[in-house]
Structure 1
Amino acid sequence: MSGCPVNHGENIVQEEGAQLDFSKDMSYGDYLKLDQVLSAQHPLSPEHNEMLFIVQHQTSELWMKLMLHELQAAVANVAADRLPEAFKMLARVSRIMEQLVHAWDVLGTMTPPEYTAIRPYLSNSSGFQSAQYRRIEFMLGNKNAAMLKPHAHRPDLLAQVEEAYRAPSLYDEALRLIARRGITVPQAALERDWTLPYAADEGVKAAWLEVYRAPEKHWDLYQMAEELVDLEDAFRLWRFRHVTTVERVIGFKRGTGGTGGVSYLRKMLDVVLFPELWTLRTEL
């Protein structure tokens, strides 16, 4: 058969009415600023595997950016009694955490010798220094003044981290919410120093038990509680996969940022963000 070859792909696109010439209009790459995003990977070592390390952490930071976007809006909506909107955002945060959990599976393909080859090029840089991660921790209630220090060299980032440090956490706003609904919450839990980590309170557990023992009466508060449990469940998985991946790749060496590495991360597994929502289950 003679003649010019047929470009079936182009014909299909044209039949569907899709535009092929983007010389005058915004394209996919223009909208997403892909030139900037895809040119932000600059390995410092000659090692093939450093690209994996960079992309893993950059994509995690992008997911955390979205997580913060959703968390900030969720906290504002809880404070304003707009619970359906808050529930949607909190559910999305839990799904984002699932993406971050699976990201560790990819990094786990890096073997100890491969990581050892790039480690000297990392200097003291470490995920421990992530300002976005620290803001997430603070917004979820794990406050620690010492964690401001790694950001002191960047006043702009320090200001953002300090804002989350000094503000009521998501759980603080949830407790204010149930108090506004007429359920007794200890005053010490409602008017406290927001810069301190939350401490479990029997009176707060009693308040949540009232919700759980009559879910049909307090349905939106009951749903709020379960959204928080989903969120902490996902966060625990994220932390656990972090620990196991680090142990798999570097063993018990110290972290590049000066932490104890696995030993430090294992301590973080013991942190409970919303304690009464877990302990009350024994009494139901």
Structure 2
Amino acid sequence: MTDPTRPEDIVHAEKAQLDFSRDMSYGDYLQLDAILGAQKPLSPDHNEMLFIVQHQTSELWMKLMLHELAAAIACIARDELPPAFKMLARVSRIMEQLVHAWDVLATMTPPEYSAIRPYLASSSGFQSWQYRCIEFRLGNKNAAMLKPHEHHAERLAVVRAAYEAPSLYDEALRLLARRGLAVPASHLERDWTQPYVADKQVEQAWLQVYRDPQARWDLYQLGEELTDLEDAFRLWRFRHVTTVERVIGFKRGTGGTGGVSYLRKMLDVVLFPEIWQLRTDL
């Protein structure tokens, strides 16, 4: 008979609870051996570990973003808005995590980056197939962005599927039309691979929602979720370009892009134009 108040029995009970030899452990569940063994610096420089971990963790967050975005788009297509709101809010919070991640990378100084850059060859975040899928899911379609993935057929198929599918905003406009708002047919059935073009009729449809939020509260909330998401995405892009300029200045990117000059052009991309324009018109 054990006494749970006796020190020796407490120690015995704790040892029993800490025996994970028969059950799945924390490390087993998360496959930590594989994850923590995936950092393999190529240079002798101390700072390369930061560079690798930064980008690997960003890719993990992007994996979750794609998981949530795909589900949110499917929910909107089925008129299931409450779960879509939760998913989109989560995507916005993930973007905030990615924004703050630049603060860590910004601790890498130009000499530190220069020490590892020769070892990167032509590898570049520009080649991230997950990031490209996010851009396509959010509506920034560009056929040229398929090319960096042509060397890997399986990844190209995934990126192409995102490129050819209706974006988050396309499905939002289809929803507005199903709710009786006047969205032009040109924006309901079109070539989804083409970049989105803003339209005055679409803006008027959103204005109807925003001028009387109580009448179409869920559509109003959808508009605000989209605004939150693009707001967070703009912050991420801004921190990206400033961090790159801080670390490498105006050198060309390792993947062959113009570096800062290319990233600055991306700051002008507007994903959901009518939702931003209506704020001027209200």
TM-score (norm 1): 0.95
1:71-82 to 2 correspondences below 5 Å? 71-82=69-80
Match of 2:237 among 212, 236, 239: 239
Structure-1 residue corresponding to 2:88: 90
Structure-2 residue corresponding to 1:221: 219
CA distance in 2, matches of 1:192, 1:268: 24
1:48-197 to 2 correspondences below 5 Å? 48-197=46-195
Structure-2 residue corresponding to 1:39: 37
CA distance in 2, matches of 1:131, 1:13: 51
Residue 90 of structure 1 and its aligned partner are, at CA, apart by 0.1
Runs of 4+ in 1 over 4 A off after TM superposition: 10-15
CA distance in 2, matches of 1:95, 1:280: 25
Q: Secondary structure at the match of 1:109?
A: coil
Q: Secondary structure at the match of 2:151?
A: coil
Q: Percent identity?
A: 78
Structure-1 residue corresponding to 2:26: 28
- Corresponding letter in the other structure for 1:264: Y
CA distance in 2, matches of 1:245, 1:18: 49
Gaps of 5+ in 1: 1-7
Structure-2 residue corresponding to 1:249: 247
How many aligned positions are there?
Answer: 275
- Corresponding letter in the other structure for 1:213: R
CA distance in 2, matches of 1:142, 1:131: 14
RMSD of aligned alpha carbons: 1.5
Residue 191 of structure 1 and its aligned partner are, at CA, apart by 1.4
What are the superposed Cα offsets for residues 42-73 of structure 1, whole Å, 9 maximum, x if unpaired?
Answer: 00000000000000000000000000000000
Q: Secondary structure at the match of 1:258?
A: coil
